A and B are shown apart, each in its own frame.
Chain A
Amino acid sequence: MNQTLSIDVRRKSIAGRDILTDVRIDARAGEITAVLGVSGCGKSTLLRLVNGLETEFDGRIALPHHEGAIGMVFQEPRLLPWLSVRDNVAFGLDAAGLHARADAVLDEVGLAHAAQLHPKQLSGGMAQRVAIARALVREPAVLLMDEPFSALDVLTRRKLHALTQEITRRHNAATLFVTHDPDEALDLAQRVVVLAPRHPAGPAGIALSFVPTHNPLARHQQRQEILRALQS
């Protein structure tokens, strides 16, 4: 059984313009792979290819485990304001015993007490936890996160980083974490991939790919390399 999310996008263009070329990423199950890039470089397009919101491209994307089990956490929580937290988590699943599963994942993200609340009563961090629970309830083999914590304060973000690492391990998910923040990528991921255009205004490709270190000095160097790659 293949335990890896294999992304091989040879070319993806939108309206005749190339957005991505030669993007190869192998994201392993149980690990977080951070995808770094400046705004508008095609990070979100990459995620849309993986989760099937966009289907036209040259190349191949192979999912681990069973097909279709992809969880997605967007930049904004995108909760449905007319549903309770529990119904938001269970939304779109029509099987019986669903609420029990919704409660289990809510407990996992630390929101068991908030199942009855409505989105307008949640803080930003709570709302994003609900969005994570909604992604987890389907037991995804692939978890896609599109700058999910960029609107949150530092402390909340740290807590959610820990949560993301924990659920990635526990659910053995291949987590693809898109961010524009080098420190977030280094803190969080087992592998960092930098997406950048090879020449100005051209399509983006993989500019850098490495395993982050915990050695402070080496880490400083990695950070410099990321910044250089992003600026090129």
Chain B
Amino acid sequence: MSSSAPAIPALAAKVPAAGEAPRRALAAIVRGVRAGARAAGLGWLLPAAALIVWEIASRLGWIAPHLLPPPSALAHTFRDLAMSGELLRHIAVSGARVGSGFAVGVALALALGAWVARSPLVARLLDPSLQGLRAVPSLAWVPLLLLWLGIDTAPKITLIAIGTFFPTYLATVGGLTNVDRKLLEVGRQLGLGPIALVTRIALPAALPAIFTGVRTSAGLGWMFLVAAELIAATSGLGYLLTDGRETGRADLVLVAILTLAVLGKLTDSVLAAIETRWLGWRDIEAERVAP
């Protein structure tokens, strides 16, 4: 796509005419995939070498296969789980739990964070309590949640919501309170009302900070999912972990771990891509792509 402006592709990609948005998006994606492939090429080197050594060590009997099955055995297990549809079911169940817990936690965090940041009164009223709740390790809520909400889906989503709330809340409060006073003054001078000041100046200015919080929240979402599913579940990737341990199948445990790794990375990549897309205006070194 960048062939239409070969002399200054970077500029063309960043500065589109109104109708060029889809083209710019496509060019950005192409560039991103290319850069990703280059970076990933190097990043795969170490895991690939480890896999080969692991396989050989396992075949030669240096490590006990029932404790650490070789990659080929894992591939088998993975294929069986995938073919039977069982893996997809677990992923779907876990994904739905993380998704809803994350959505609730982050939405609450954004709303309360914005409120606390913009109103000194609300900040004095609410922030100390929230900071106090934050001091409680989120897993400590588990027994209470089980008592109150049973062992069904509700306590899991609640736990994930609690866990994902705080990083986004802190980032939102921090981002909004650190907005440059000078930019807000421009808005006031131009006659913007208090709500327009927030939506049109403070929020966009705080977006980079908020995004960092949301990405941290997403990572914690998967962590609390596993915690919740390890305790009580009949499906989901956490259940797969428990199942593997109870039936003595290390291959199941490892497949679940790898799946979690891929899903976690995928979530973050999606958020990172949105971040790059929305926050292209930041005056930062373009080559410093967040890993």
Q: Which A residues have a C-beta under 8 Å from some C-beta of B?
A: 51, 53, 68, 70, 72, 74, 76, 78, 80-84, 91-92, 116-121
Residue numbers in B under 8 Å from A121 (CB-CB): 11, 14-15
A3 to B205: give the CA distance in the assembly, Å.
39
Cβ–Cβ contact B183 & A80, under 8 A? yes
How many residue pairs link A and B with beta carbons under 8 A? The number is 52
B188 nearest in chain A by CB position:
A53
B139 to chain A, nearest CB (A): 38
Q: Which B residues have a C-beta under 8 Å from some C-beta of A?
A: 11, 14-17, 182-183, 185-192, 200-201, 204-205, 207, 279, 281-283
A82-B279, A121-B14 are known; give 6 further A-B pairs, CB within 8 A.
A74-B182, A81-B282, A82-B281, A83-B281, A92-B187, A120-B282
A128 to chain B, nearest CB (A): 14
B contact patch SS? helix
> Which of the residues B15, B200, B283 comes within 8 Å of A81, measured between beta carbons?
B283
Cβ–Cβ contact B183 & A78, under 8 A? yes
A79 to chain B, nearest CB (A): 9
A201 to B73: give the CA distance in the assembly, Å.
83
Cβ–Cβ contact A81 & B281, under 8 A? yes
Cβ–Cβ contact B190 & A51, under 8 A? no
A-B contact pairs, 29 of them (CB 8 A): A53-B185, A53-B188, A53-B189, A70-B189, A72-B189, A74-B182, A74-B185, A74-B186, A78-B183, A78-B185, A78-B186, A80-B186, A80-B205, A81-B281, A81-B282, A81-B283, A83-B281, A92-B190, A92-B191, A116-B15, A116-B16, A116-B17, A118-B14, A118-B15, A118-B281, A119-B281, A120-B282, A120-B283, A121-B11
B14 nearest in chain A by CB position:
A118
A151 to B261: give the CA distance in the assembly, Å.
50
A74 to B183: give the CA distance in the assembly, Å.
11
Residue numbers in A under 8 Å from B15 (CB-CB): 84, 116-118, 121
B290 to chain A, nearest CB (A): 18
Residue numbers in A under 8 Å from B205 (CB-CB): 80, 82
